[in-house]
Amino acid sequence: EQAERNRIKSIPVLAPRGKILDRDGRIIVDNRASYSLILSREAAKPEHLKPIAAGLNMDPAVLEARVERFKQRPRYEPIVIKEELSPRELAFVEAHRDPDTFPELELIPAQRRLYPQGGFAAHVIGYVGEINEEELNSAEYIEYNPGDIIGKFGIEREYNHTLMGVDGQRQVLVDSRGRERGILGIKEAKPGKNLQLTLDLDLQAVAELAMEGRKGAVVALDPRNGEVLAMVSRPTFDPNLFAGGISAAAWRELVNNPDNPLLNRAIQAQLAPGSTFKPIVAMAGLESGVIDENFSVSCAGGATFYGRYFKCHLRGGHGRVSLHKGLAQSCDVYFYNVGNKTGVDTIAKYAEAMGLGSKTGIDLPNEASGVIPSTKWKMRMFRQKWYAGETISVAIGQGAVAISPLQLAYSVGGLARGGVFYRPHLVKTDKLEPPKIVKFNPENVQKVIAGMYAVVNEGGTGVRARLPGISVCGKTGTAQTASNEKAKTHKFLDNAWFIGFAPCEAPEIVVVALFEEGLHGNLAAPIVRDVIKAYFDKKARITSN
């Protein structure tokens, strides 16, 4: 029986992962032909491990630990010891895998992941890597084996079961010196399925270019169905580093980078939205009946509430301000008063109804929830009561308010569609989930939209987002990251936000830009403008053809 077993060798046939495509069927992630080096444990000798490691530029301890990991597995299962070989390493294997030196070495064809260069869409796509011990012990990966390559981040992880194929096997007859003498049977590998995303490569490219050299995020959604048209997070990383197994030095460089390139800011940044929160506060005031469009205040550059003076961003003040002008000019004093009259719990009620303070449910791992403060929230988190003075900061999107760019796009997109909120998603589907419906008074929605139209088209704070022939609505946001007294260094510059949608009367696209340390919201407006323009330019080309 032992002699019979020694005559048969099982060699894995690796299944290629499915390709990842954009909404038009263009390839984003492909595979390329490569080789993996496997070690046959039936023929392996412990004394060979060190010279093999030296020839492959590996740490001998790493190779020995890898072999040890497979100790409990059946001996006929080979081990992949290197996924990507340099020409010099290939030459070493070819010269030494004969029966007289290292008969345990075997080269097998493999399909290696090929990602776009420059970290393009890296946070959406993600990367693959070898399954680790923690994953092997989890219920999610119960059917996988040591050495398997799985999705670790982004779409690669979220849809791993779809993208990952099933390996095959080739059984060959070998003689006593390990040389192949014939094929006994082949079980073909089943390739993984291709995955079509909602991303539009043209819009993605424009958004990536707009964020070049900046830190922050861009999200573009179709509010009519929740499709994500573009998603960018900067700084980025190169997923190709992971395709053949990332080196320890490269991994340390990524995780120790203070700018955190592995953070998907589009769904994981939890930051104060600044004045982009004002349309939500306006809706809370209007819907609760606390204010109407004629409610007005006088802005002289600031106002005192509960013994503390709160400044407006315009030092000389805005004069007499009602809702329309308050949104257009982003008057802080107006919204201090609206927030004070409305109260933090009513603001929280409407903000949460519009999807803020909780995950949107996008099909990506590790989405952040954000924070919408309320009296209950403060008692639960800090065992302290809420003070009315704290509401003043919340009314202009400061204080404890923290949201992600995706949440803001989802929230304002649903508001702009009259209270119809579709779950954001990245994979194309014919079976759309029913939307969440929030019953707003249509007249109140129109009043807020009119104010957001004025932001861009009537000399408001977002004139840089204006586009000829396209009615763009928007809202700027400048959010403090530290008190102005502390903001003496670049580290504490304000974050710039802008949210825009178009056309105002029936939105087809909503875009959020977060420009960290961008100083003023109007500097984020051109990023949004460029993505919206790209959308309508492409639509016009398709229509004309």
CA distances from 394 to 399, 424, 479 (A): 5, 26, 12
Q: Are strands 79-82 and 105-114 parallel, antiparallel or unpaired?
A: unpaired
| Mean pLDDT value across residues 314-330 | 97
Which pLDDT does position 176 carry in this prediction?
Answer: 59
Which pLDDT does position 419 carry in this prediction?
Answer: 97
**Residue 430, exposed/middle/buried by CB under 10 A (0-12, 13-18, 19+)?**
exposed
Mean pLDDT, the chain, rounded, equals 91
Strand blocks (E) in 289-418: 297-299, 302-305, 308-311, 319-321
Listed in sequence order, the residues at least 6 apart from 446 whose beta carbon sits closer than 8 Å to its beta carbon are none
Which tops the pLDDT comparison, 543 or 484? 543
CA distances from 475 to 160, 207, 350, 462, 466 (A): 38, 18, 18, 7, 12
**SS3 string of 512-535?**
EEEECCCCCHHHCHHHHHHHHHHH
Per-residue pLDDT band for 44 (boundaries 50, 70, 90) equals confident
Measured distance CA(469)–CA(478) in Å, rounded = 28
Per-residue pLDDT band for 178 (boundaries 50, 70, 90) equals low
| Mean pLDDT value across residues 93-103 | 81
At 303, the amino acid letter reads A
Q: Give the lowest-confidence range in 142-146, 174-178, 317-321.
A: 174-178
0.75 surpassed by pTM: yes
Per-residue pLDDT band for 179 (boundaries 50, 70, 90) equals low
Which pLDDT does position 9 carry in this prediction?
Answer: 72
Answer yes or no: is pLDDT of 487 > 50: no
Per-residue pLDDT band for 96 (boundaries 50, 70, 90) equals confident
Closest CA to 269 of 212, 214, 216: 216
Measured distance CA(40)–CA(79) in Å, rounded = 7
Which pLDDT does position 343 carry in this prediction?
Answer: 97
Which pLDDT does position 172 carry in this prediction?
Answer: 75
Which pLDDT does position 305 carry in this prediction?
Answer: 97
At 32, the amino acid letter reads R
| Mean pLDDT value across residues 353-372 | 97
The number of residues in the chain equals 545
Q: What is the DSSP letter of 320?
A: E
β-pair partners for 10: 171
Measured distance CA(311)–CA(317) in Å, rounded = 9
User: Is 17 strand, coil or helix?
Assistant: coil
Two tokens at 70?
A: 């497979």
Measured distance CA(359)–CA(372) in Å, rounded = 12
Instruction: Confirm if 13 and 189 have CB atoms less than 8 A apart.
Output: yes
Alpha helix ranges (H) inside 357-499:
375-382, 388-394, 405-416, 442-457
Per-residue pLDDT band for 100 (boundaries 50, 70, 90) equals confident
β-pair partners for 130: 149
Which pLDDT does position 173 carry in this prediction?
Answer: 74
Which tops the pLDDT comparison, 346 or 130? 346
Closest CA to 466 of 541, 540, 522, 539: 522
Per-residue pLDDT band for 3 (boundaries 50, 70, 90) equals low
Which pLDDT does position 108 carry in this prediction?
Answer: 85
Measured distance CA(143)–CA(141) in Å, rounded = 6
Which tops the pLDDT comparison, 276 or 178? 276
Answer yes or no: is pLDDT of 19 > 60: yes
Please tell me whether the peptide bond between 223 and the residue prior to it is cis, using omega within 30 degrees of 0: no
Two tokens at 10?
A: 């099982």
Helix 442-457 crosses helix 278-287 at what angle (to 10 degrees)?
150
Helix (H) or strand (E) holding 286: helix 278-287
Ramachandran angles phi, psi of 513, nearest 5°: -120, 130
Residue with tokens 């178009």: 502
Answer yes or no: is pLDDT of 83 > 90: no
Per-residue pLDDT band for 521 (boundaries 50, 70, 90) equals low
Ramachandran angles phi, psi of 345, nearest 5°: -70, -35
Answer yes or no: is pLDDT of 465 > 90: yes
Measured distance CA(410)–CA(424) in Å, rounded = 7
Which pLDDT does position 486 carry in this prediction?
Answer: 44
- Percent helix, strand, coil in the chain, to 5, is 35, 25, 40
Please tell me whether the peptide bond between 273 and the residue prior to it is cis, using omega within 30 degrees of 0: no
Q: Are strands 20-21 and 195-196 parallel, antiparallel or unpaired?
A: parallel
Q: What is the DSSP letter of 305?
A: E
Which pLDDT does position 177 carry in this prediction?
Answer: 57
Q: Could you tell me what percent of the chain has a pLDDT over 70? A: 94
Per-residue pLDDT band for 491 (boundaries 50, 70, 90) equals low
Which pLDDT does position 483 carry in this prediction?
Answer: 43
Per-residue pLDDT band for 295 (boundaries 50, 70, 90) equals very high
Answer yes or no: is pLDDT of 534 > 60: yes
DSSP of 6-26: HTEEEEEEPPPPPPEE-TTS-
| Mean pLDDT value across residues 200-214 | 96
Burial profile 2-35: b = 16 or more Cβ within 10 angstroms, e = fewer: eeeeeeebbbbebbbbbbbbbbeeeebbbbeebb
Ramachandran angles phi, psi of 489, nearest 5°: -115, 165
Active site amino acids: 275
At 401, the amino acid letter reads V
Closest CA to 327 of 397, 273, 275, 398: 275
Measured distance CA(47)–CA(2) in Å, rounded = 23
Residue with tokens 């992949």: 80
